[in-house]
């Protein structure tokens, strides 16, 4: 296990950095499994990638041309077809036509590229240095060599490398399955909302936020404690997100539902603005539950605070390092809470874009990142950044 959680944080808000760490620590990496290469993209290596054999397995041509031996000119004695297992042998003054990737004959001195060849009947003329344009056996790796460590994210190039080595499967930590439960009887899912109703903005955001996980079909749950209990109990997921029920109002049933299921509440509020009423719990069977506030920007900041570290932990990846940048014009600190402020990145500095209220998405829609402004009595002139654009270590909005 990565660590042991020794205490619950029920009843008081924890600091923003502590909340991230708690979510990461609570999320044990999922059980490894061997999967076909076609299913491995976007997962993480659960064990080192080890070369099963030397690669290349034999000396190969790196160019289309002629395998030659000794000084030229050379007599062409044949052609080596792609895939040939018996390329033969050369003696001084001999050449054989080869294509890129084909095995070269024994005794090959070099490969003379086609573009450097002058051919006269059965003879070829040209100049080439020793060992040129040959990929020698074991040049890329030796049998048993560790090529990539456990924990390496599997991208397209990793899959190509594994295939070139002759592997058909990789042992990976799979993508976590994430279920999203959206609550709120006032929500509508299309058109303009009428009086007393609200257009759901959280549900449409969630699929784009979950590109590092397997997102299960979103479920909408009425404002009912029993219906929420049933939905939580039946969610076949590693992580369950519940939006719109994490505060303490009459329609907020998450904490009573968790209590009735015997869950341990690890985070009960986070000292950040926006996004204070968020929660993290673990069910008796090990499934994690994260409560997201009902306001859209507050839900997004809660997702970045708790869900992103939890998903990283489930995937067996490190908790992301947050870069620091100067803030153009500075930002006022909150006396007790971390502020998460939408900013653009311009010429190496973070520029606040405004519209950062908990119910607003205009600012974050224009932003590249959220500035993490530490609590204190002063104005912050630098801040860490939570990236919002899709990329290797970022989460799309």
Asked whether residue 394 is domain-assigned, the answer is no
Q: What DSSP assignment string belongs to 237-295? A: SSEEEEES--SSSTT--HHHHHHHTT-EEEEE-BSEES--S-EEEE-TTS-EEEEE-SS
Decide which of 272, 293, 314 is a domain's last residue. Answer: 314
Distance CA 4, CA 94 (A): 70
Count, in order, helices (H) and strands (E) of the chain: 8, 28
Q: What pLDDT is stored for residue 42 in this prediction?
A: 92
Q: What pLDDT is stored for residue 391 in this prediction?
A: 45
Scanning the chain, the segments in alpha helix (DSSP H) are 16-26, 156-164, 202-209, 225-234, 254-260, 296-302, 308-315, 362-366
Q: Are 103 and 84 in contact (CB under 8 A)?
A: yes
Distances (CA, A) of 69 to 106, 116, 362: 10, 16, 70
Phi first, then psi: what are they for 362, rounded to 5°?
A: -60, -45
Asked whether residue 397 is domain-assigned, the answer is no
Residue 91: which CATH number? 2.170.190.11
Of 384, 331, 388, the residue nearest 354 (C-alpha):
331
Class of residue 383 by CB neighbours under 10 A (exposed 0-12, middle 13-18, buried 19+): buried
Q: What pLDDT is stored for residue 166 in this prediction?
A: 95
Asked whether residue 151 is domain-assigned, the answer is yes
Q: How many domains does the chain have?
A: 4
Tell whether 165 and 230 lie within a shared domain.
no
Determine the structural domain holding residue 119 and report its residue range: 60-135
Asked whether residue 283 is domain-assigned, the answer is yes
Beta bridge partners of 68: 95, 110
Distance CA 115, CA 129 (A): 15
Q: Are 179 and 240 in contact (CB under 8 A)?
A: yes
Give pLDDT tens digits along the chain (397 positions): 444 444 444 558 999 999 999 999 999 999 999 999 999 999 999 999 999 999 999 999 999 999 999 999 999 999 998 888 778 999 999 999 999 999 999 999 999 999 999 999 999 999 999 999 999 999 999 999 999 999 999 999 999 999 999 999 999 999 999 999 999 888 888 999 888 898 989 999 998 899 899 999 999 999 899 999 999 999 999 999 999 877 666 667 899 999 999 999 999 999 999 999 999 999 999 999 999 999 999 999 999 999 999 999 999 999 999 999 999 999 999 999 999 999 999 999 999 999 999 999 999 999 999 999 999 999 999 999 999 864 444 444 3
CA atoms within 13 A on the CB side of 17: 8
Cis? peptide before 168, omega within 30° of 0: no
Asked whether residue 301 is domain-assigned, the answer is yes
Q: What pLDDT is stored for residue 305 in this prediction?
A: 97
Tell whether 19 and 46 lie within a shared domain.
no
Residue 187: which CATH number? 3.40.980.10
CA atoms within 13 A on the CB side of 253: 21
Tell whether 250 and 205 lie within a shared domain.
yes
Asked whether residue 392 is domain-assigned, the answer is no
Tell whether 144 and 215 lie within a shared domain.
no
Decide which of 114, 135, 156 is a domain's last residue. Answer: 135
Tell whether 202 and 291 lie within a shared domain.
yes
Tell whether 180 and 303 lie within a shared domain.
yes
Within 8 A by CB and 6+ apart from 374, the residues are 333, 338, 380, 383
Tell whether 102 and 148 lie within a shared domain.
no
Asked whether residue 396 is domain-assigned, the answer is no
Distance CA 92, CA 306 (A): 69
Tell whether 295 and 189 lie within a shared domain.
yes
Tell whether 48 and 26 lie within a shared domain.
no
Tell whether 247 and 193 lie within a shared domain.
yes
Asked whether residue 319 is domain-assigned, the answer is no
Residue 334: which CATH number? 2.40.340.10
CA dihedral for 241, 244, 245, 247, sign (positive or negative): positive
Decide which of 173, 195, 228 is a domain's last residue. Answer: 173
Tell whether 68 and 186 lie within a shared domain.
no
- pTM (2 decimals)? 0.85
Helical packing angle, 16-26 and 308-315, nearest 10°:
30
Q: Are 60 and 135 in contact (CB under 8 A)?
A: yes
Tell whether 198 and 188 lie within a shared domain.
yes
């Amino acid at each position: 296990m990565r660590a042991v959680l020794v205490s619950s944080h029920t009843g008081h808000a924890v600091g923003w950095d502590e909340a991230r760490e708690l979510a990461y620590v609570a999320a044990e990496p999922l059980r490894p499994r061997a999967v076909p290469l076609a299913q491995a993209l976007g997962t993480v290596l659960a064990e080192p990638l080890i070369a099963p054999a030397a690669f290349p397995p034999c000396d190969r041509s790196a160019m289309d041309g002629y395998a030659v031996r000794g000084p030229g000119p050379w007599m062409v004695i044949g052609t080596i077809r792609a895939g040939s297992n018996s390329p033969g042998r050369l003696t001084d003054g001999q050449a054989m036509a080869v294509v890129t990737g084909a095995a070269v004959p024994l005794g090959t001195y070099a490969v003379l590229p086609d573009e450097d060849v002058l051919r006269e009947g059965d003879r070829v003329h040209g100049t080439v240095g020793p060992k040129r344009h040959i990929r020698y056996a074991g040049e890329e790796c030796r049998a048993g060599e560790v090529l990539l460590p456990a924990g390496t994210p599997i991208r397209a190039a990793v899959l190509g490398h594994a295939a070139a080595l002759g592997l058909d499967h990789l042992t990976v930590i799979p993508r976590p399955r994430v279920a999203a439960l959206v609550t709120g009887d006032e929500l509508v899912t299309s058109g303009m909302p009428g009086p007393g109703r609200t257009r759901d903005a959280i549900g449409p955001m969630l699929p784009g936020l979950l590109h590092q996980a397997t997102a299960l079909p979103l479920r909408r749950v009425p404002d009912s404690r029993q219906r929420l209990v049933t939905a939580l109990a039946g969610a076949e997921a590693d992580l369950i997100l519940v939006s719109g029920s994490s505060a303490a109002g009459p329609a907020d049933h998450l904490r009573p539902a968790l209590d009735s299921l015997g869950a341990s509440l690890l985070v009960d509020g986070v000292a950040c603005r926006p996004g204070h009423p968020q929660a993290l719990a673990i069910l008796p069977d090990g499934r994690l539950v994260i409560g997201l506030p009902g306001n859209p920007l507050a839900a997004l900041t809660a997702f970045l605070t708790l869900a992103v570290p939890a998903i990283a932990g489930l995937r067996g990846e490190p908790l992301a390092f947050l870069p620091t940048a100067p803030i153009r014009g500075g930002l006022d600190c909150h006396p007790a809470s971390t502020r998460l402020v939408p900013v653009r990145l311009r010429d190496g500095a973070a520029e606040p874009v405004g519209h950062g209220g908990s119910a607003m998405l205009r600012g974050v829609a224009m932003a590249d990142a959220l500035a993490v402004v530490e609590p204190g009595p002063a104005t912050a002139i630098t801040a860490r950044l939570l990236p919002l654009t899709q990329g290797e270590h970022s989460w799309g909005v």
